[in-house]
Structure 1
Amino acid sequence: MADLPRERLVDQMFPFTHIGVNYFGPFEVKFLRRNLKRWFCLFNCLTTRAVHIEVAQSLDTESYLGALTRFIARRGFPNTSISDNGTNFVGKVNELKAFINKWDKTKIESDLAKKKVVWKFNPPGAQHFGGICERLVQSCNKFMTAILDNRSLTDKVLNTTMCLVEQTINARPLTAVSDDP
């Protein structure tokens, strides 16, 4: 296996200075008499593995930039953002791959450049680069299933549930727990 990315090994930095980004979902919510799909944008700190989750209304560029703006408003500006490049998303639905491939990547890069954020892509043939994000997606899905227990969803319930999932994941010990009192 190759060396870990430099962003994962930097210490003495604020949390969420270097982040990994991944989408997961969809989850269906009831709105009036219709069912709508909602997606989640998972931001994780590459050094501490803390998690921040934003609900995305759709999979377009504007929705991602909105989720990123809400993330920055709460957690601060990251220096580096690392994500899949759309060809190796491990999603349940082909729709995710199609929408990510349609993203206006130059617009996202220019928006991030204005905020002095470097956006990097994982290599297409190296799924192990995004292993941390993929593992956290599995944890989110597991906790979502446990919390919701087949209830019907509304946007309010979904947002509350994602906050509970984020709290549960961030409550785990981030380092080895010592036996020594």
Structure 2
Amino acid sequence: MLPNEAGAAAACQHLIDRGCRRILILGTREGVDEPHVSPMTADTRWLGALGAVTANPHVEGIPLPCDWNSLDARRAVVEAIDAGIGFDGVFAMTDSVALGALRGLADRSVNCPREVKVMGFDGVLEGQLSVPSLSTIDLGVSALAASAVGMLMQRIENPDDPTPGRREVAEFTLVERESTALSAP
């Protein structure tokens, strides 16, 4: 199981620790005033972000729905800036969304990280190559895959084992790069 809620909370807390007070939560679903009950990825990431933001009385979370791709995220950020929505941080629900946000900021000549800090979620390789490089929650997908294969092999080798399956929650790592740096390049 992925640590969506805990990872999102850590991502938003990182932005708060870097001085962000108006955090755009990019990639939420429509109607996020009340969190949905289902354990969908978007919902658990939203709950984590919301928890971190509401735990800090001087911080505002601004949900901004968009599909989870770079093009829609770019458009959403540009439209938010054009509409006068002020924000100094972006927590993007995925790294693809974060990469689109970086482009949208650049389209409007908003400096990241000096004016707006951006945090992604997933740990994709492209985040290391973007300018600025993307801070992210790295899910350690290879370790998670190895664990799943190990559990599957154990089940195949012991088909009559009555032991119920186990649920594991993957660990995550907060990777700080240039997009949330305290001193801008």
| TM > 0.5 fold call | no
The structure that has the greater radius of gyration is 2
Normalized against structure 1, the TM-score is what?
0.32
Between Structure 1 and Structure 2, which shows a larger proportion of strand residues? Answer: 1
Normalized against structure 2, the TM-score is what?
0.32
